[in-house]
Amino acid sequence: MTERVLTVAGVPLAVRTFGAATDPAVVLLAGAAASMLAWPETFCASLAADGRYVVRFDQRDTGRSARFPAGDPGYGLADLATDVIGLLDALALPRVDLVGASMGATVAQRVALDHPQRVRTLTLWAGSPAPPGSGDADLPPPALRVLIDLDDLDRPDPDDRDAVVEHLVALARLRGGNARVFDESDARDHATAEVDRAGDPLWALTNHALVDPGPPWRDRLGELRAATLVVHGGADPLVPPAHAHALATAIPDARLLILPTAGHDLDRVDWEDVLPALLRHLSDDAMTSGRAD
């Protein structure tokens, strides 16, 4: 299906689906400042080929969805979770499998906690049971090297397309960690696609950093009954693997998959491990998500 824009509670959200709408639905949530392009078409097509109705969309301030004033977004984590529920309603999907990466993993946790009847399974990539700076002693901060390098990066002129692309590539390099060779060509292709599609993808870097996480939710994770798979890069410099262990410990019967050389992002090289694990996870129960009988 071609991309379309659905208005959810007054907020225009760009959506793209793959596969048959009668198949069990998988909704993909990207991380902070990342559009739906964080989930490549070939990745989505692989899931659809296994009999899944795949939904990816641009969260607020990304891609072609609604933009809010830079530096004053006026929305919080609860609103992003409400957007997901509104999208499920608009697509007539009563119960789905949620897959979230980074900030998307946080949104997925909130959806599953507040609307458990809408979530069959959870898959959390590069997630944490608490927002940045929560102060939880067992949740280490980002690597000091990355924080220093981020501070040294100058924000480019948003009207300078090439400079914005290079800035996005530099950010991807930092997120990748130092346990594997950085695929600069793939990162540049992705950054170019983001800029060509969204115009100024740096807009979301400002606003998503200001999203109000709301009240802590870590002590509620024991309430979750959705089958959960926690996937994390062993070399993630932004959200160290201790966060994944904490998530898997807090969520009943959660399974944990650590990819030793992976960084923060889901790179193409990780698909050979992640796709089979995800498909096994989605198939563990009867395929009852998606549309009601």
Residues 69-102: pLDDT tens digits?
Answer: 999 999 999 999 999 999 999 999 999 999 999 9
Mean predicted lDDT score pLDDT of the chain: 93
Residue 270 has what pLDDT? 96
CATH class held by domain 4-283? alpha beta
CA 254 – CA 261 distance, rounded (Å):
22
Span 127-155, average pLDDT: 91
**How is residue 117 annotated by DSSP?**
G
For residues 37 and 53, what is the distance between their CA atoms, to the nearest angstrom? 17
Cβ-based burial of 291 (10 A; exposed 0-12, middle 13-18, buried ≥19): middle
Task: Specify burial of residue 68 (Cβ count, 10 A radius: 0-12, 13-18, 19+).
Answer: middle
- For β-strands 119-125 and 25-29, DSSP reports them as unpaired
pLDDT reading at 139 higher than 60: yes
pLDDT tens sequence across 253-280: 999 999 999 999 999 999 999 999 999 9
pLDDT of the residue at 285: 56
Number of residues written out for the chain: 293
DSSP code of 56? Answer: E
Taking alpha carbons only, the member of 55, 64, 83, 89 closest to residue 211 is 83
pTM: 0.95
Q: Residue 19: CB partners within 8 Å, gap ≥ 6?
A: 47, 48, 49, 51, 52, 53, 54
Q: Return the sign of the alpha-carbon dihedral for residues 27, 31, 36, 39.
A: negative
% of the chain exceeding 90 in pLDDT: 87
Q: Who's near 33: CB < 8 A, 6+ residues apart?
A: 61, 62, 201, 202, 204, 205, 208
Q: Tell me the pLDDT band of 108, cut-offs 50, 70 and 90.
A: very high
Give the pairing of strands 96-101 and 53-57: unpaired
Q: In the chain, what are the domain boundaries? A: 4-283
Q: What is the DSSP string of 173-231?
A: HHHT-SSS---HHHHHHHHHHHHHHHS-THHHHHHHTT-B--S--GGGGGG--SEEEEE
**pLDDT reported for residue 289:** 39
